[in-house]
Amino acid sequence: MDANRSSLRRAWLVGAVAVPTAFLALFFAYPLATILERGLTTGDGLALPPGTAGLLWFTFWQAAASTVLTLGVGLPLAWAIGRFRFHGRGLVRAFVLVPFVLPTVVVATAFLALLPEGYERGIPAILAAHVFFNVAVVTRIVGGAWATIDRTTSEAAAVLGASRWRRSREVTLPQLAPALSAASALTFLFCFTSFGVILILGGPTRSTLETEIYNQAARLYDLHAAAVLSLLQLGAVTLVLVVTSALESRLSGAESAADERDVLRRPSGLERPALAAVLAVAAVVLALPLLVLVGRSLGAWGTLFRETPALLVEPWQAAVYSISFAGVAALIALTIGGLAALALARRPPGALDGLVLLPLGASAVMLGFGFLIAFDEAPLDFRSAWWLVPVAQALVAAPFVVRIVAPALRSIDPRLREVAATLGAPPSRGWREIDLPLAGRAFAIAAGFAFAIALGEFGATVFIARSEQPTLPVAIFRFLGRPGAQNQGTAAALAVVLAGIAVVAALAAERAAEGRGRVL
Amino acid sequence: MLAVRDAQVVLEGHLALAGVDLDVSEGTVLAVLGPSGSGKSTLLRAIAGLQRLENGTIELDGRSLAGVPPHRRGIGLMFQDDALFPHRDVAANVGFGLRMQGMAPNAAATRVAELLALVGLSDRNRQAVASLSGGERKRVALARALAPSPRVLLLDEPLGALDRELHDRLLGELKRLFDATQQTAVYVTHDAAEAFALGSQVAVMRDGRIVQVATPGRLWAEPTDGWVARFIGLANVEQDGQTVTVTRPEGVTLRPDADGTAVLVSAERDGPLVTLRARRENGREIVAVYVGLAPPSPGTRVTVEVDPGAVIEVPTGR
């Protein structure tokens, strides 16, 4: 009987590894291999298309510039949130996160509406949208780290005779450094692989690696050039990703033990007006684009229920497809990511964690392109399969699920399981009674994240969404590509709908997590 | 009842248990005393089934436990840091083992109430464990471990890392509880006072081996070697070649005397007793215990009088 049970357990464990592996093999590795094969065997082999150097340079410097600007806007806000206790601090923290959960297409549409005629497309527009999008990353990571720096370290330095300036330079800054570099690296990664913002705000001439893959494949039908660029993008992003995860691991290693409650204090003296100014600027920067977007949508709501030459369906139906696809995608991502997290959590953090993150680095556009050329002939002809869209979205979302769930599973004290065993709980029961409920909070957050990511997913979806089943980001993109104020208005209205769904999903996940948190 | 024979455990390539033999009889508490890293916790984990034996056997009621997983051993375990289930309230923590046994909810509720009363936490069923004080957490952990009526209860430094007042109070409570319930237990600690207070037998552990098993009285009277004598807190342990001389402080008198050959260095009061330290003319220090209200003050010249019955000689143990 014992032998039976343990073999059952082993079978279950094998499943936890095998199911995600098989899924990744078919829907990630195979499309990737197809791209590689296409790049190597057609045209001039791996020879880069003309203009690639300029493309690479622009991709790099726009990401670097965006990161620097984001730090400029985000750090004062991180200081405000990380140091002070004030009315509405929780609200500010939540509000800062809103742009981050907004789909890129929504942000791009908002900046199209916000920026004055003649400036709405081009480099300033791209940088502004990237800053808006990533302020949350800097604020939450750096602010969070700031709020846990033990104040006594600074006080100890003061007692030892360090001036205010030297204290911030020699005590506070070194403790913040891991968070600063992690936030910068993440922002850089997001901007480097940014697709929706650049495709929409870049105009016809500004292109990065990511958008150029789309241009070559979907507009110029040069599949060979797209394949070669995809491989280049894969290499570049892997490099950025390696640096990012190295910097991030320093962050988790340097986590300070201090409790937020002991660190935060009320602002005094000159800090009061400074704090007020920072919050006021942040409010304008974060709220204005959204307000303008809502303004632009007014008067266009009726068009959502009218047939239009831009789409094969009435615009509102895109919302239905979006929600359905995102729901299925979240379910797939939670299953695949959850199982992978389970397998990962059984061993100490290591190289395998990086492997799971690879799909994230491979870039959504490349994934969509890979799907396009890999699943077009029997027996793998999935061109007319509706589920291809949620599968692609799940692939983009699953790494986030792993990143949220695996640490939660790992942080569960193994002694809880051991105590449960001595109290008569067999291992499977221990898992159900201890691990699952304790990681429940993480699962709830992961579900919300996966849904929000799938909902806003654009890079992969734009390749494979069927014209009669467009998602909201795809529909918005179609309307933005058509001339006339009415089309822009419809795009804005759809963007408001998309933003609304994304924010509600994020809030629901946060609520569910908190509800469980109270039980914990 | 519990018999460990030649137990060996290898941890990260080194022998954490190097052949341990132990017997615990029904209704008694065996205290396992040793410094950190001596293998005490590993021994407990091996008995509980959480650690595989490289060699040797563990028997409970004459039945070998080899191959029996922890959840079927009927052995309870209490960790130093309690390991309470954070997502369950007090009653659900205490009732966890009963639920695993498949006990009917009503019967389980009665048993939980009984145990909470036993540890002095009646009517706290619905309280979240996060809101408990350190002492209350210990009590819940103890009640949880006792609830399924384990044949043997294992306690791994349950009172470590507590402030002294709470430590002493809980020690008294544990003592009364073990006396009242006749629970068979193995109690692991690095604190000799705890081991003496709770153990009907004390097993002293060092480098993965048991070096002596005796009642607290015999252990104090006849430590097997110099290392044990020092570890259990005997003062005046002096080594001369291969033999160690132990002079019990309670058999030493330091009498103020202007012609005395020793000088009092310190006098520290701890409750009714005062520990006196004097430097002898050979440069060595000798410790004595004084009972009374007027101990001599440091700097006083004293003569050293030793009761011959208070001196024993043992091997070095090194």
Three-class DSSP category at A516:
helix
Please state, in angstroms and rounded to a whole number, the distance separating the CA atoms of residues B280 and B82.
48
Three-class DSSP category at A474:
helix
DSSP one-letter string for A324-345: HHHHHHHHHHHHHHHHHHHHHH
Is the predicted pLDDT of residue A518 greater than 60, yes or no? no
Mean residue pLDDT across chain A:
83
Is the predicted pLDDT of residue A161 greater than 80, yes or no? no
Q: Quick one: average pLDDT of A98-110? A: 88
Q: How far is B93 from chain A (nearest CA, A)?
A: 10
B130 at A interface, C-beta within 8 A: yes
Q: How far is A426 from chain B (nearest CA, A)?
A: 6
Is the predicted pLDDT of residue A136 greater than 90, yes or no? no
B301, β-bridge pairs: B263
CA torsion A238-A241-A242-A245 (nearest 10°) is -160
Is the predicted pLDDT of residue A121 greater than 90, yes or no? no
Q: Tell if the CB–CB gap between A413 and B83 is shorter than 8 Å.
A: yes
pLDDT at A498: 92
Residues in chain B with CB shorter than 8 Å from the CB of A413 are: 83
pLDDT at B188: 95
Is the predicted pLDDT of residue A255 greater than 90, yes or no? no
% of residues, chain A, pLDDT over 70: 90
Which residue, among A263, A281, A312, has the nearest Cα to A144 in the 3D structure?
Answer: A263
% of residues, chain A, pLDDT over 90: 17
Three-class DSSP category at B301:
strand
Please state, in angstroms and rounded to a whole number, the distance separating the CA atoms of residues B142 and A165.
52
pLDDT at A7: 58
Is the predicted pLDDT of residue A344 greater than 50, yes or no? yes
B34 at A interface, C-beta within 8 A: no
Residues in chain B with CB shorter than 8 Å from the CB of A425 are: 71, 96, 100
Torsion region of B102: left, alpha or beta (phi above 0 gives left; psi -120 to 50 gives alpha): left
- Chains A, B: CB contacts within 8 A come to 70
Helical residues (DSSP H) of A411-439, grouped into ranges = 414-422, 427-430, 436-438
The identity of residue B266, as a single letter, is: S
The contacts of residue A503 (CB under 8 Å, 6+ apart) are A98, A101, A102
Contact call for residues A438 and A520 (beta carbons, < 8 A): yes
Q: Tell if the CB–CB gap between B77 and A419 is shorter than 8 Å.
A: yes
Please state, in angstroms and rounded to a whole number, the distance separating the CA atoms of residues B201 and B38.
18
Is the predicted pLDDT of residue A361 greater than 70, yes or no? no
Please state, in angstroms and rounded to a whole number, the distance separating the CA atoms of residues A274 and A77.
11
Structure-model confidence comparison of residues A19 and B200, the more confident one: B200
Question: Looking at the whole model, is its pTM more than 0.90?
Answer: no
Q: How far lies A75's CA from each of A94, A136, A200, in Å?
A: 16, 10, 28
B14, β-bridge pairs: B11
Contact call for residues A122 and A200 (beta carbons, < 8 A): no
Please state, in angstroms and rounded to a whole number, the distance separating the CA atoms of residues A214 and A208.
10
Please return the burial class of A414, using the count of CB atoms within 10 Å of its CB with bins 0-12, 13-18 and 19+: exposed
Closest by Cβ to B97, choosing from A423, A426, A434: A423
> Which strand (E) or helix (H) includes residue B277?
strand B273-279
pLDDT at A348: 66
Beta strand pairing call for B252-256 and B301-306: antiparallel
B202, β-bridge pairs: B31, B214
Q: Tell if the CB–CB gap between B85 and A416 is shorter than 8 Å.
A: yes
ipTM of the modeled complex: 0.84
Kindly identify which residue of chain B lies nearest to residue A426, measuring between CA atoms. Answer: B71
Per-residue pLDDT tens for A187-237? 998 899 888 899 999 877 788 988 998 888 888 888 888 888 888 888 888
B67 at A interface, C-beta within 8 A: yes
At residue A9 the predicted structure's pLDDT band, cuts being 50, 70 and 90, is low
Residues in chain B with CB shorter than 8 Å from the CB of A422 are: 48-50, 70-71, 73, 75-77, 145, 150
Q: Tell if the CB–CB gap between B100 and A429 is shorter than 8 Å.
A: yes
Q: How far lies A364's CA from each of A137, A210, A361, A464, B317, in Å?
A: 20, 9, 8, 11, 69
Residue ranges of chain B with per-residue pLDDT less than 50:
none
pLDDT at A520: 32
Burial per residue of B200-239, b for 16 or more beta-carbon CB atoms within 10 angstroms, e otherwise: ebbbbbbebbbbbbbebeebbeebbbbbbbebbebbbbee
Q: Tell if the CB–CB gap between B144 and A423 is shorter than 8 Å.
A: yes
The contacts of residue A125 (CB under 8 Å, 6+ apart) are A111, A112, A115, A119, A201
Three-class DSSP category at B311:
strand
Q: What is the DSSP letter of B149?
A: -
Please state, in angstroms and rounded to a whole number, the distance separating the CA atoms of residues A354 and A38.
26
Residues in chain A with CB shorter than 8 Å from the CB of B83 are: 413, 415-416, 418-419
pLDDT at A14: 74
B156, β-bridge pairs: B188
Q: Tell if the CB–CB gap between B72 and A519 is shorter than 8 Å.
A: no
Residues in chain B with CB shorter than 8 Å from the CB of A519 are: 87
The contacts of residue A90 (CB under 8 Å, 6+ apart) are none
Closest by Cβ to B71, choosing from A416, A425, A519: A425
Q: Tell if the CB–CB gap between A425 and B100 is shorter than 8 Å.
A: yes
Helical residues (DSSP H) of A204-316, grouped into ranges = 209-214, 223-253, 260-263, 271-297
Structure-model confidence comparison of residues A450 and A170, the more confident one: A450
pLDDT at A362: 56
Interface of A with B (CB under 8 A): 2, 413, 415-416, 418-426, 429, 433-434, 437-438, 519-520
Is the predicted pLDDT of residue A253 greater than 60, yes or no? no
Residues in chain B with CB shorter than 8 Å from the CB of A423 are: 71, 76, 96-97, 100, 144-145, 147-148
Contact call for residues A368 and A460 (beta carbons, < 8 A): yes
Q: Name the maximum alpha-carbon separation found in chain A.
A: 76
Indicate which of B96, B98, B129, B140 best probes the interface with A, i.e. most A CBs within 10 Å of its own CB.
B96
Q: Which of A12-21, A238-247, B288-297 has the highest mean pLDDT?
A: B288-297
Is the predicted pLDDT of residue A387 greater than 90, yes or no? no
DSSP one-letter string for A360-371: HHT-HHHHHHHH
Q: Tell if the CB–CB gap between B87 and A438 is shorter than 8 Å.
A: yes
Contact call for residues A222 and A216 (beta carbons, < 8 A): yes
Helical residues (DSSP H) of B163-243, grouped into ranges = 164-181, 192-198, 216-221, 226-231
pLDDT at A2: 44
Which residue, among B29, B4, B72, has the nearest Cα to B210 in the 3D structure?
Answer: B4
Is the predicted pLDDT of residue A163 greater than 80, yes or no? no
Q: How far is B65 from chain A (nearest CA, A)?
A: 14
The identity of residue A195, as a single letter, is: F
Q: Tell if the CB–CB gap between B97 and A437 is shorter than 8 Å.
A: no
Closest by Cβ to A424, choosing from B71, B87, B130: B71
Kindly identify which residue of chain B lies nearest to residue A428, measuring between CA atoms. Answer: B71
B57 at A interface, C-beta within 8 A: no
B87 at A interface, C-beta within 8 A: yes
Q: How far is A452 from chain B (nearest CA, A)?
A: 28
Residues in chain B with CB shorter than 8 Å from the CB of A9 are: none
Per-residue pLDDT tens for A447-459? 988 998 899 899 8
Q: Tell if the CB–CB gap between A413 and B96 is shorter than 8 Å.
A: no
Per-residue pLDDT tens for A488-511? 888 899 999 999 998 888 888 877
Please state, in angstroms and rounded to a whole number, the distance separating the CA atoms of residues A487 and B133.
63
Indicate which of B41, B87, B112, B138 best probes the interface with A, i.e. most A CBs within 10 Å of its own CB.
B87
